[in-house]
Structure 1
Amino acid sequence: MPQYNKLIIATGDREIQFYELSSLEPYCQLSALETVPLTLDYCSTGTDECMILYGDAQGCVTIILMTSVWDMLRLWKKLPMVENVPSIGIDSAILSPNVTYIRWKVHGDWVTQVKYCESMRAIVSTSNHEPSALVIGCTLPTTNIEQTLREVREFCREGKTRKVQAGLGNPQLRAAGDQTVFPVHKGVKTFDLCKKHNLLITGGMDRLIRMWNPYVPGKPIGFLIGHCAPIFYLSISSEGSRIFSVSMDNIIKIWDIPDQSCLFTAHPKASLIRGEVSACLYSPSIKGLYVATDSMALLAVRTRTQAQGDLIVSHKEPVLCCGYSEAFRQVVSCSEASVVKVWDFDTGSQVFEFGGAHGVSAITCLTFDPKGRRLVTGGRDGCLKVWNFNNGQCLKIFRKEDGSAEVCDCTYLKASRSTYVISVGWNRRIDIYFDSPEDPHHIQSPQSSWQDDLNSGHKEDILCVAQCPPSLLASGSYDGEIIVWNLVSGHLQCRFLTPLPTDCTHSEDVDRSASGLVFLRTRALNIDFISAACLVSSGAQGSVNFWNVRNGGKFLASFKASRLKYQITKLAVTKEENFLYAADRAGFIYVYDIKMYALRPEQEAPRMANYWRAHISTVTSLQVVEEDCVLLTSSIDCTVRLWTFHGEFIGTFGQAENWSIHTPSSWKHPTIPYEILIDPLSMPAHSILEEGTSASDIINLEQAEEAREDANNAKSDSSSKLRFPAPHISDKDIEEEIRSLRYSTKQGKRLRHEIFKKANKPPSHGGPKAYHTLKCFDIDDTSTACKKPDLSLVATDPFLSGFAAEGSTESQ
């Protein structure tokens, strides 16, 4: 249940349990089901509405429809505990008007798979029972007047109790018109359905993969033959027109849909798959197949690199972090596939690359030591590694002994003559590692956690961390909580909770995670700014919040930084802290003048100095290189780019042409990346699409402007000796146009070609229209006969004749 951050598990005790997805802690459970769920599925059917369905050993498909899901789950959370989990029986749950319980008798044997197909608004279920091997049926029964009247009579005769027992008693049978039955030899164990290809595939004990038209149950449209054991799992990849199949002997095959042929076969010994297969899942996002046996295996699909045309990428995978080393004037970027690339900052060319930095785990964050000579990377394996990034040598490993939790952010801390590495992540603790070149141990554990961190620390995953030497450290978590720590004593100095927007109605649906933090160090260390904001954090719905961290902390100001209300992912400030750079999930970068902002509680937003779109997806890194007045960005769109402070595009690291950072003529400016140019979000919006402007207002405004121009033209014509406007545009016209655009209150209203309206406007003579003075001429009737072509040159082919004639002319 991604909308509600819940995980659903069906148990052998006839229970459906709900867990918190972030912490995997039990939330509540639905107990006393009539049968044991063998296969489970979930689908969101609307705003705060969902469907839970499962199949059982009796061949029945049970459907639980829920509305006002947030309120229902919170209500169930407060019920009495059963084995330390709030529990409610199914007989009590269906008494609520927000819960609808339906149980269909569909198959003659137990249900092997069930799935709700949203495109068809139907439920597909399978069984090993041949006559009812696969059934596509309705969720709710169609209206039957006779049946409805019969139920009303029974309800009036036997009362409300009889109505409830009917829902939990014998299952219902669908009418013949409410379902489509596919009979299959030896039944069906697994299936998949693709709306794009209008294709249904089934597999079972007979080792054949059948391809069906989902609307024609009579006969398959094709067979895929090649497995030597019963089919266990099937999945259709609509992007590449591929079918993935797994059999009980752990053989994996990839099939081509148009050709109906096998493209690839993976044997279990080559793939290191041992044991009996218990579950499989194909992930389109990473193009990989998960196989669960005695261990979990991920088989990634590697394809040949295809020509990308005008698209330029820095990595083949999403870039999760990047940084700039001032000592070497190099940029280091890390990707989802644990690949580290080193780039020349001055030219954009690649210097070095090494892979497998954290095994198969993604690299999520990086930082440099205070001298900028060593690289520290953090990964999803829970480790921190120190590198010599010029030769790929791992110098040191930092990790905890009690398991691995993803590292989300890290930073270097220099205290006196000692250096430390601070990391935060999913373990919800501030981990501090002592970094000393003289320490002979290759693998090191963190120091003991602060007592305040253990007792009053974060309750959710920590996403980011920022420091302000010599004594301040701030950390932000998934639930929007921000804690400021004293680095010297380890005590909690103050804590905040990200405020909700004033126009927010459903607080549960708002993402208030603090994914970006930055200190305004000049204000934090200057006694003259004791009451000013010195900490900036990202907030909900694209907002940015300003905090004062002294005297217990105080919220001072907030404004919407993202014009489209996308979550702000990264923040950065210039050295003088006059300008704030904010990047959002849509790839936009916004520049705000904050020199005098939040010195006291503010209501108005600061002035937006500039904004542009740097990427087509989430920005994962944003760093200001003050020495060269440029901005370094990376994104999950696989690119690392360089921009000037004013938004001029310098280039993408990895492009064919090198740039010179001090030669503007070598930059890509004024062009922009091609994928940004064609992306729909980059298109300018017309004022008629914006709120507060109607179509009639636009039409009336245009008509008023045209009438005013006509009046001005008539006035000038009456006093001028010229009957036609000047054939050229004067310098004065251009200056006036530039001045009007500069001081226009509504940018984008006037187009650049408007200065040519006067020159292109037809003359007004004050007399009859031009077409009234046109002369009429008689049309002569000419002969339709045409001259016969000369075919004497090349046989009788006029095309060859003409071609030969051209050739002879060229030769001459």
Structure 2
Amino acid sequence: MTMMTREEFMDKMSETLKQGTKEEYGELFDKIDLIRDGLIDWDKFTSFMLLELYEKDERAKRLVIPQWKELRLLPPIHKDVLQSVTILKSPASYLTVSRNGLIGLWGDSLKLQRTLQITTEVAKPKDLWVTSLVTLPNVNKVAVAFTSKEIHFAELNSKQGFSCQYRLQGLEGTVICMDYWYDPHDGNDAVLTMGDVCGQVQAIVFNTAQISLFERPSNSSENENVTTVINWKELVSGYHKCCCILGHKLHDKQWVRQVTYNSSLDVFMSVSTSSTNTLVLAWRERLSPHLTITTFHIAQGVNAFDFHARLNMIATAGNDRRVYLWNPYVTSKPTGILEGHSDSVIATRFITQRKLLLSFAKDKVLRIWDIHHQLCIQRISGSFPKSLDFHSTLYCDESHGRLFISFNNQLTVLEMEEDSGKSRVTSHRKAVTCILYNSVFKQVKDKKR
């Protein structure tokens, strides 16, 4: 293409491509002719088209691949290992709890609002060991599990701190993981699922949760500050009409690493690090105490899992350095295997809006996977706290684009950068302070701040 005027370009393009109007080609000419000399050549045209295609590709990538801000370390208020990180809806805040029973409440801006110390009548503070905590948003409570084979149901308030209302004791094994679900359309229907060190998965199915989680003895005080003690055998016997117990012991005395109840499938999911009965799905039968069991056998076991309801897909974090993708109805083989980690995978979470999967390994490498193509599209490492041996918990707040990862008592946060989709793609993250043109190689070199 020799030098062409605006009129020549419009005539040539409409004649050659035989689509579009001359006015549209005129607008294209104006975009290419930045210095407004009324002439463009082949170099100007191709450079402009390549830049446009590059920007379009970058915009498409930014819609899929998360862009993260620098890793943020929250103030280390905990002196012991963090056991749980979760969100508290009322008031809107994040809640952290450490093994020694210290609770931290963090505002939406991730500033510490206050701390509370869990105390019990059974154990001295130095002997107290919290294993798990979940929030019960429909009844404004939290459930806390202890190594003393107890679960406390309490309210968190500024006046009385940790105000325990029910103390469930006499559990067969120490509960180390819990999950809570409630029906958003009827808050009375709720399920608390528990996994213990004996390989048991137990669930308390509430039917009058907003009225009362458990029945109080007839001679008990109406004062809400008085703790009602409940024995596990009472629940199993059916004495409490406001709830019932479901469960199984299929993990063969292996520690249950994670549990959840999924309402769309009406199934209890649980995993262990055993190679047999690694992933167990216990399907509920309506109006029946029986569970229909489906088991998955995964070599070397798994540490955690997540479920994507719309894709009907389970992702398991394997000790064999792999992430397996499963269809809940197909036990013979996974639908996909994600390979790339060089150490045991300890956590996995779906980013449902982007159809992505996060996986975090023991070597402190975070990978982001494209589920459709089953490819790793992002790898983050080197920025996490340096510690050889660590206990970690991972929590993803997708609505705010935040990923919390704990390392022993230290809590870190990765935040996604907001992308309006309107901004022009930039070549640098920081301001450009100097530009040099090399006339020999016809290249532009720049220097950033």
TM-score of the superposition, structure 2-length normalised?
A: 0.56
Cα distance change of structure 1 residues 253 and 120 upon mapping to structure 2, 3 Å threshold: same
Matching residue of 1:11: 146
2:448 is equivalent to residue 306 of structure 1: no
Cα distance, 1:49–1:260 mapped onto 2, change above 3 Å = same
Counterpart of 2:231 in structure 1 is 89
* Distance apart, 1:281 and its partner CA: 0.5
1:71 aligns to 2:211 (yes or no): yes
Q: Distance in 1 between matches of 2:287 and 2:206?
A: 19
Q: Deviations over 1:750-803 (max 9, x none)?
A: xxxxxxxxxxxxxxxxxxxxxxxxxxxxxxxxxxxxxxxxxxxxxxxxxxxxxx
Contact kept? 2:188, 2:211, Cα under 8 Å: no
Structure 1 residue 288 displacement after superposition: 1.4
C-alpha RMSD of the superposition: 2.9
Asked whether 1:137 is paired with 2:282, we answer yes
SS of the aligned residue for 2:399 comes to: coil
Closer/same/farther in 2, CA of residues 305 and 264 from structure 1, 3 Å limit: farther
Tell me how far apart the structure 1 counterparts of residues 193 and 290 of structure 2 sit (CA, whole Å). 17
User: Secondary structure of 2:211's partner?
Assistant: helix
Q: Which runs of 5+ in 1 are unaligned?
A: 144-171, 309-812
C-alpha displacement at 1:134, in angstroms?
0.6
Equivalence for 1:41: 179
- Deviation sequence 1:480-503 (CA, Å, 0-9, x none): xxxxxxxxxxxxxxxxxxxxxxxx
Partner of residue 391, structure 2: 277
Contact kept in structure 1, 2:316 and 2:325, CA below 8 Å: yes
In the alignment, structure 1 residue 27 sits paired with structure 2 residue 142: no
Find the aligned partners of 2:256 and 2:402 in 1 and give their Cα distance: 27
1:203 paired to 2:317: yes
CA-CA distance at 1:287 after TM superposition: 1.2
- Report which of the two has the higher share of helix: 1
Assess if the C-alpha contact under 8 Å between 1:17 and 1:26 holds in 2.
no
Equivalent-residue separation in structure 1 for 2:373 and 2:418 (angstroms)? 18
Where relative contact order (Cα < 8 A, 6+ residues apart) is larger, the structure is: 2
Match of residue 246 from structure 1: 360
Amino acid at match of 1:131: T
Supply the AA of the counterpart residue of 1:60. Q
Equivalent pair of 2:150/2:168 in contact (CA under 8 Å): yes
C-alpha distance in structure 1 between counterparts of 2:240 and 2:214, whole Å = 14
Structure 1 residue identity aligned to 2:189:
E
Distance 1:61-1:141 versus aligned 2 partners, 3 A rule: farther
SS in 1 for 2:405: strand
What is the one-letter code of the residue matched to 1:132? Answer: N
Structure 2 residue 216 is matched with structure 1 residue 101 = no
Specify which of 104, 108, 117 is matched with residue 262 of structure 2.
117
CA distance in 2, matches of 1:62, 1:298: 32
The letter of the residue matching 1:114 is V
Cα offsets for 1:119-156 (capped at 9, x unmatched): 1111111112212111111235886xxxxxxxxxxxxx
| Preserved contact between residue 208 and residue 231 of structure 1 (Cα < 8 Å) | yes
Cα shift readout 1:493-514 (whole Å, capped 9, x = no counterpart): xxxxxxxxxxxxxxxxxxxxxx
Distance 2:149 2:286 in 1: 26
Q: CA deviation at 1:277?
A: 3.4
Q: 1:97 to 1:113 in 2, by over 3 A?
A: same
Matched, 1:213 2:348: no
User: Hey, which of these two has a bigger chunk of strand by percent?
Assistant: 2
Instruction: Report 1:565-580 matches (<5 A).
Output: none
Give the C-alpha shift of residue 44 in structure 1.
1.1
- Paired with 1:74 and 1:141, the residues of 2 have a C-alpha distance of 22
1:129–1:103: structure 2 CA closer, same or farther, 3 Å change rule?
same
Matched with 1:227 is 341
1:488-637 superposed matches below 5 A? none
1:186, 1:205 within 8 Å by CA — same for their partners in 2? yes
Decide whether the 8 Å contact of 2:314 with 2:328 is kept in 1. yes
TM value normalised by structure 1:
0.32
What residue identity is the alignment partner of 2:232? I
Q: C-alpha offsets along residues 340-369 of structure 1, whole Å, 9 cap, x if unaligned? A: xxxxxxxxxxxxxxxxxxxxxxxxxxxxxx
Amino acid at match of 1:122: V
Report if the CA contact (8 A) 2:357-2:368 is conserved.
yes
Q: Give the match's secondary structure for 1:25.
A: strand
Deviation at 1:295, TM superposition (A): 0.9
Offset of residue 305 of structure 1: 4.3
For 1:285, what is the secondary structure of its paired residue? helix
How far apart are 1:304 and its partner, in Å? Answer: 4.9
Deviations 1:604-643 (A, max 9, x none): xxxxxxxxxxxxxxxxxxxxxxxxxxxxxxxxxxxxxxxx
CA distance in 1, matches of 2:249, 2:199: 6
Give the drift of 1:110: 2.0
**Whole-angstrom distance in 1 between the partners of 2:171 and 2:155:** 22
Q: CA deviation at 1:75?
A: 5.3
For the residue of structure 1 that corresponds to 2:268, the secondary structure is: strand
Which residue is 2:273 aligned to? 128
Q: Equivalent residues in 2 for 1:626-775 (5 A)? A: none
Whole-angstrom distance in 1 between the partners of 2:306 and 2:275:
18
Any unmatched runs of 5+ in structure 2? 1-135, 424-449
Secondary structure of the structure 2 residue equivalent to 1:88: strand
Task: Give 3-state SS (helix, strand or coil) of 2:338's partner.
Answer: strand
Of structures 1 and 2, the larger Rg is shown by 1
CA distance in 1, matches of 2:248, 2:227: 29
Residue 256 of structure 1 is matched in structure 2 by 370
Amino acid at match of 1:290: F
d(CA) in 1 for partners of 2:294 and 2:403? 31
Alpha carbons 2:206, 2:213 under 8 Å: kept: no
How far apart, in 1, do the equivalents of 2:297 and 2:342 lie? 22
Query: Does the 8 A contact of 1:277 with 1:291 survive in 2?
Result: no
Amino acid at match of 1:306: G
The superposition leaves residues 419-465 of structure 1 with CA deviations (integer Å, 9 ceiling, x where unpaired) of xxxxxxxxxxxxxxxxxxxxxxxxxxxxxxxxxxxxxxxxxxxxxxx
- Are residues 73 and 196 of structure 1, via their aligned partners in 2, closer, same or farther at CA, if it must alter by over 3 Å? closer
The Cα shift of 1:49 comes to: 2.0
Query: Any conservation in 2 of the 1:127–1:188 contact (CA below 8 Å)?
Result: yes
